[in-house]
Amino acid sequence: MYNYFFKLKRVVKLGIRSLIEHKLRSLLTALGIIFGVSSVIAMLAIGEGASYEARQQIKSMGSHNIIVKSRKPGQSMSSSQETQRLSSYGITYEDVIRIHTLFPDIQIRIPARKIQADIRRGSIRLPGSIIGTIPWFLKQSPLRIKTGRFINDNDMDSVSNAAVLSEQTAKALFPLDYPIGQNIYLGSQIYEIVGIVSDQKAKTQAKQGTSKKDIFEVYISITAAKKRFGEIIVKRDTGSFSMEKVELHQLTLTADTEDNVLPISTAVRSVLKYFHKENDFEIVIPLELLKQAEKTKRIFSIVLGSIAAISLLVGGIGIMNIMLASVTERTREIGIRRALGATRGDITIQFLTEALLLSIAGGILGVALGVTVPIIISHFTKLTTIIQLNSLILAFSFSVFTGIVFGIYPATRAAALSPIEALRYE
Amino acid sequence: MTSSEHQSPFVIQTKDLVKSFQMGDTTVTALKGISFSLAHGEYLSIMGTSGSGKSTLLNILGCLDTPTSGEYRLDGQNVSKMNDTQLSAVRRQKFGFIFQSFNLIAQLSVLENIEVPLFYQGCPEHENRQRSLKLAKMVGLGHRINHRPTELSGGQRQRVAIARALANQPSLIFADEPTGNLDSTTGEEIMTILDDLAQQGRSIILVTHEDSIAKHAQRVIHLLDGNIYTDKTQQVQIK
């Protein structure tokens, strides 16, 4: 065992010397491996960086989320309705209710519909934010009922004029008396106060002194907000203008588990399809995008892997070429060593070691170059590059593997030479 | 180390050694039945013109080649049926080679060249170095151990080769035209070293076509067309 190790050490030393003896030749041979390894590492780093960015973007949308977006129906449809001045499309509050009935447990978030309007009670006039909301908004928000009740389903269905005040609004409007049951004006309409809510978050912020100046908030049912305040977007193009009415631009549904994301989205899609004759909505599923990104990445990796295999193959052929030349050149040396008692195995190991050293040296330089290139690229282009340890190990071990594969043939050729033939070789 | 187990009084015993080569359609028989024995400590020279078969015989005796038929016993062991690995082991343990063209490895220094046989024996590095250094000093090259063979004269190179041939303490030394590439003065110097080795009791087989060189050996075998023509023991003048 000791002898074996000693022999190997000596053979490695010898190999290094013989490579150093032919510096230029060794370098040129190793160049194939160097470029192969470094390009694999660099490409993988760039690919990984790009896919990381994509995944981050998708993840920021939430992997449990299903995003339902309003979309203007196809151009062909709208052209037939061009004469219509007001086009209405997109998801509606009714859709929200339908989804909520279907899946009472999933979170549905609607971007807050805020309408700026004055709040009046007698002589008190406050600049207010009127927020159209839904009954279960309460559960998902930091709001807590202080007195009375929140907007309920009844308010939604009957488009009632029930209003819920925030604590500050209540204090500002009713400094002295009990607000529940009283009437206030929101814009030009009369609303009846049914409850008061306190904002837990705002309270803690107020304690910390980070609260913004007083916000006077009033919550009404979203159906009432839709009916009384509406949402009409007026677009002015050159010469003409069109009006579009979109009740909701976007809904975000949050499933409890990732596994439920796809079934829920399928159900939601079929429900919406049933009620929407025009294709005026789209469903974006970040999880699906994520899966797609993973798939793209896999394909990318396969492509890169093929490039790697090809470039390392070319590098390996270079090694084989030079090793074959070396065997021919050193036939005499092989003969001498055989005469002095070297076995075929000894000769095989000597030449295989040289091929291996070439590929290891090429691999190390390739890794060094492969690590440098992405750093330079990301420095100058602001592209994210991620060098993974795996890719270094993969590229390096592949280059060593190439060295073995392409070193074996020349080494066995060297060993197969008969001692006398080799000794006679001029 | 060397075969101290002398079951046989002979280093070499051959019986009807035949070697034939296939040259295209014709079969050339280089050795047509060589039978001879070499006792321990014997100094033998093999002579013959080119084509007489002396190189072929040397290759077979040196275990660099195998006979087509016949028997070759080395220290009582039948080596004619051995495989490549076993023959390598025999060369490694029992033989020292000295060639006409020196056959030193150009990339290695003098000392490293001497170290090669012991390296293949698996001798520890330090011990190998010590022994090789001693041999280099013995052949008078102690001051040139770090030189490359190309930086040495022909005579010096052959001295390195002799030191290398002695490294594994062989039971038999083969010298194939050791003076062939040297001028007569240097050749004589080399022959003096060989004579000294013979005097120390080493078995030597010297292949040459020069009478003046063959004279150094006690026994001369003449080969002619693959047969032993004469086998004479002669008086050697000792200076």
Q: Which residues of A touch B163 (CB under 8 A)?
A: none
Phi/psi region, residue A90 (left: phi>0; alpha: psi -120 to 50; beta: rest), is left
Which among A346, A418, A423 is the nearest to B120, CB-wise? A346
Kindly list the residues of chain B whose beta carbon comes within 8 Å of any beta carbon in chain A.
Answer: 59, 62, 64-65, 84-85, 88-89, 91-93, 95, 97, 99, 103-107, 116-117, 119-122, 124-125, 164, 168
Q: Which long-range contacts (CB under 8 A, 24 or more apart) does A419-424 make?
A: A419/A335, A419/A338, A419/A339, A419/B64, A419/B65, A420/A335, A420/B59, A420/B64, A420/B65, A421/A335, A422/A331, A422/A332, A422/A334, A422/A335, A422/A338, A423/A332, A423/A335, A423/A336, A423/A338, A423/A339, A423/B64, A423/B99, A423/B103, A424/A335
| Cα within 13 Å of Cα(A278), Cβ side | 16
**Residue A339 in contact with partner chain B when CB distance is under 8 A:** yes
Task: Determine, for residues B88 and A7 on separate chains, whether the beta-carbon distance falls below 8 Å.
Answer: no
Task: Determine, for residues A10 and B121 on separate chains, whether the beta-carbon distance falls below 8 Å.
Answer: no
pLDDT at B2 exceeding the cut of 50: no
Contact of B31 with B14, CB cutoff 8 Å: no
Q: Give the C-alpha distances (Å, rounded to integers) separating A190 from A77, A122, A193, A296.
A: 40, 12, 10, 57
Q: Any bridge partners for residue A193, and if so which?
A: A163
Non-local (6+) Cβ contacts of A193 within 8 A are A148, A163, A164, A165, A170, A179, A180, A181, A182, A183, A184
Calpha distance A294→A52 (Å, rounded): 10
Calpha distance A172→A73 (Å, rounded): 45
Q: Give the C-alpha distances (Å, rounded to integers) separating A159 from A101, A153, A154, A191, A260.
A: 18, 10, 8, 11, 33
Pairing of strands B219-224, B43-47: parallel
| Cα within 13 Å of Cα(A350), Cβ side | 22
Q: How far is B234 from chain A (nearest CA, A)?
A: 31
Angle at A280 between CA A278 and CA A285, to 5 degrees: 130
**Residue A335 in contact with partner chain B when CB distance is under 8 A:** yes
Q: Both tokens of residue B131?
A: 């022994």
Calpha distance A367→A350 (Å, rounded): 25
Pairing of strands B172-176, B203-208: parallel
Q: Which residues of B touch A18 (CB under 8 A)?
A: 107
* Closest alpha carbon within chain B to A4: B122
Q: Which residues of B touch A420 (CB under 8 A)?
A: 59, 64-65
Predicted local confidence at residue B58, as pLDDT: 92
| Cα within 13 Å of Cα(A257), Cβ side | 3
Predicted local confidence at residue A203, as pLDDT: 63
Predicted local confidence at residue A228, as pLDDT: 75
Q: Which long-range contacts (CB under 8 A, 24 or more apart) does A280-283 make?
A: A280/A70, A280/A71, A280/A72, A280/A73, A280/A89, A280/A90, A281/A68, A281/A69, A281/A70, A281/A71, A281/A90, A281/A91, A282/A68, A282/A69, A282/A71, A283/A66, A283/A67, A283/A68, A283/A69
Position with higher pLDDT, B205 vs A62: B205
Task: Determine, for residues A344 and B168 on separate chains, whether the beta-carbon distance falls below 8 Å.
Answer: no
3-state DSSP call for residue B35? Answer: strand
Calpha distance A356→A408 (Å, rounded): 10
* Closest alpha carbon within chain A to B107: A18
Task: Determine, for residues B124 and A339 on separate chains, whether the beta-carbon distance falls below 8 Å.
Answer: no
**Residue A340 in contact with partner chain B when CB distance is under 8 A:** yes
What is the rounded average pLDDT of the residues B93-121? 93
Q: How far is A3 from chain B (nearest CA, A)?
A: 5
Which among A4, A18, A342 is the nearest to B107, CB-wise? A18
Calpha distance A339→A318 (Å, rounded): 30
Contact of A261 with A285, CB cutoff 8 Å: yes
Q: Both tokens of residue B99?
A: 């060639």
Task: Determine, for residues B116 and A337 on separate chains, whether the beta-carbon distance falls below 8 Å.
Answer: yes
Length of chain B: 239
B-contacting residues of A 56-115, CB under 8 Å? none
Task: Determine, for residues A344 and B121 on separate chains, whether the beta-carbon distance falls below 8 Å.
Answer: no
| Cα within 13 Å of Cα(A219), Cβ side | 28
Predicted local confidence at residue A257, as pLDDT: 83
Contact of B168 with B121, CB cutoff 8 Å: yes
Neighbours of A60 (CB within 10 A): 9
pLDDT along chain A (426 residues), means of 10: 74 89 90 90 86 82 82 57 60 80 79 75 84 78 84 83 88 87 86 87 60 72 76 57 68 83 87 84 85 85 80 87 92 94 93 93 94 91 87 90 92 92 86
Chains A and B form CB pairs within 8 A to the count of 73
Q: Which residues of A touch B106 (CB under 8 A)?
A: 333
* Closest alpha carbon within chain B to A341: B92
**Residue A419 in contact with partner chain B when CB distance is under 8 A:** yes
Predicted local confidence at residue B3, as pLDDT: 45
Task: Determine, for residues B107 and A337 on separate chains, whether the beta-carbon distance falls below 8 Å.
Answer: no
Predicted local confidence at residue B37, as pLDDT: 93
* Closest alpha carbon within chain B to A350: B120
Cα-Cα-Cα-Cα torsion A109, A113, A114, A118, nearest 10 degrees, comes to -130
Q: Which stretches does DSSP call E strand in B24-171?
A: 26-39, 43-47, 69-74, 77-78, 95-98
**Residue A420 in contact with partner chain B when CB distance is under 8 A:** yes
Which among B65, B84, B116 is the nearest to A340, CB-wise? B116
Q: Which residues of A touch B105 (CB under 8 A)?
A: 333, 336-337
Give the CA radius of gyration of chain B: 18
**C-alpha A359: how far from chain center:** 36
Q: Both tokens of residue A15?
A: 């190999």
Q: Which residues of B touch A345 (CB under 8 A)?
A: 85
